[in-house]
Amino acid sequence: MTTVVSPVAGRVTALAEVPDAVFAGQLVGAGVAVEPSAPPAGGLVAVVSPVAGEIVKLHPHAFVVVGESGTGLLVHVGIDTVKLGGTGFELAVAEGATVAAGDLVVRFDPAVVAEAGYSAVIPVVVLDSTPDSVSQRAVGTTVASGEPLFDL
């Protein structure tokens, strides 16, 4: 069993609450989302890997990490943030990097996301999983970065 940890500190929500039909409908997989806590004024939010594994896909706004079990997890930093073209994001690792759960992957400025009119919510999705196959026990709670969200 692998424990999937939160990539950021914040409030855990159901994917159904994410303002994006693909995530809300669990079309890429089941999971939860985290609404990041506000950073100190002008601060960046650190986004960490939810599991140990390899970063197989890396964009400023999203990454996929494949754990030792072969399961891929998508961490999508905000909704529609691809339209920012990387503005407000800083990559801390390269594609192909091996990471431990809790290792820094990207930092982002939630103020840039908000100014563009986008949501900063961060879906954490088990790729190719069936809808409603992930425990929702953490939904409604507030977690610190690195605290458990669900088990695989």
Integer angstrom CA distances of residue 73 from 4, 125, 146: 9, 6, 15
Read off the tokens for 135. Answer: 């425990």
Measured CA distances, 17 to 23, 34, 80, 130, 137 (Å): 9, 10, 15, 18, 15
Q: How far apart are CA 117 and CA 51, in angstroms?
A: 30
Contact assessment for residue 137 and residue 150, using Cβ atoms and an 8 Å cutoff: yes
From the list 13, 76, 79, 134, the catalytic residue is 76
Tally Cβ neighbours within 10 Å of residue 75: 26
Catalytic residue flag (residue 61): no
DSSP lists the bridge partners of residue 108 as: 45, 89
Residue 83 to residues 80, 86, 117, Cα–Cα distance (Å): 6, 8, 11
Active site amino acids: 76
